[in-house]
Amino acid sequence: MAVNAATEWEIRSSGDNDNGGGFNASTGMTDYTQQDAAQLSLTDLACLAADPLELTSVTGGFTAAMVGNLIHITAGTNFVVGFYEVVAYSDGNTVTLDRTPISGGDGSVGVGKLGGALATLNGLDNKHVAGNTIWVKVGVTLPGDVTISVSGAGSTVITFEGYETTRGDTPVLDDRPLIACGGNYINNSGYRNIWRHLRISGSKAYATTVSGRYYGTLHIVLVDSTASQG
């Protein structure tokens, strides 16, 4: 089981790759990804094998508005590192996840953050799925090469879209967010992905490559690079 197809991700240079980074927009609840810092950070997460979807914390801080947001669990005994959606709220100390975050026994001392944007494309760790939208705001740098190997399926695409102030404001020219690759590059190896309203720069011969097929139109401006668009 993977993240929901209606998940929207937020990437901005002022974010943190340990943040939750994603929100299931079909829930109608509060999207906490459009901010730099996580809405909730915990280091005492627990999950029992006897109730593998229930995530608890003595510290707590969960609210009903957090349903639909992803919590990014990055460490803990028997916890599987990954992004998990909060699908139900019980109380300030207990929520239900879309799938179990543990393997091999009871989970304890789990470290996780809910809400907040990711800082780089690398932060996605290819956890996005067909139907997802990845919103890119402000300048984004790449700490290393990144391969986007996840693709859409059929007519369901994955969209990487830049925005200036408000999602969907379709910036043009230099108002488009810049993905500064430096000496790194993006390899978009998946089919049926859309990239639009973005600028990409880099010092490699190819700052970005598009292999296979894409579904829709690429709206990418390549700047300060010997890169080419394919």
Write out pLDDT tens, residues 60-80: 999 999 999 999 999 999 999
Q: Is residue 2 part of a domain?
A: no
The one-letter amino acid code at 120 reads: T
Residue 168 CB burial class (10 angstroms; 0-12, 13-18, ≥19): exposed
Asked whether residue 1 is domain-assigned, the answer is no
Report the C-alpha gap between 69 and 31 in whole angstroms.
7
* Interatomic CA distance for residues 18 and 117, integer angstroms: 9
How is residue 112 written in tokens? 């996780």
> Residue 107, SS3?
strand
At 161-176, the pLDDT tens digits run: 999 999 999 998 889 9
One domain, residues 108 and 186: no
131 falls within a domain: yes
Distance in angstroms (rounded) separating the CA atoms of residues 180 and 134 = 17
Q: How many domains does the chain have?
A: 2
Regarding whether 187 and 139 lie in a shared domain, the answer is: yes
Asked if residue 229 belongs to a domain, the reply is no
Residue 3: inside a domain: no
Q: Amino acid identity of 171?
A: P
202 and 139 share one domain: yes
Shared-domain flag, residues 126 and 108: no
Asked if 132 and 195 sit in the same domain, the reply is: yes
- What CATH number has the domain bearing residue 81? 2.40.30
Boundary residue ending a domain (58, 79, 114)? 114
**78 and 16 share one domain:** yes
Residue where the block lists tokens 């593998």: 52
Over the chain, what is the mean pLDDT?
88
Give the Cα separation of 159 and 144 in Å (integer).
22
As a whole number of angstroms, the distance between CA 22 and CA 229 comes to 28
Domain that holds residue 44: 10-114
Please list, residue by residue across 48-63, b when 16 or more beta carbons sit within 10 angstroms of its beta carbon and e when fewer do: eeeebbbbbbeeeebb
pTM for the model stands at 0.91
Q: How many Cα atoms within 13 Å fall on the side-chain side of residue 188?
A: 25
Residue 78 tokens, joined:
């028997």
Q: What is the pLDDT along the chain (230 residues), one digit of tens a residue?
A: 689 999 999 999 999 999 999 999 999 999 999 999 999 999 999 999 999 999 999 999 999 999 999 999 999 999 999 999 999 999 999 999 999 999 999 999 999 999 999 999 999 999 999 999 999 998 898 888 888 888 777 778 889 999 999 999 999 888 999 988 888 888 877 667 888 898 888 887 666 665 444 444 445 554 444 444 43
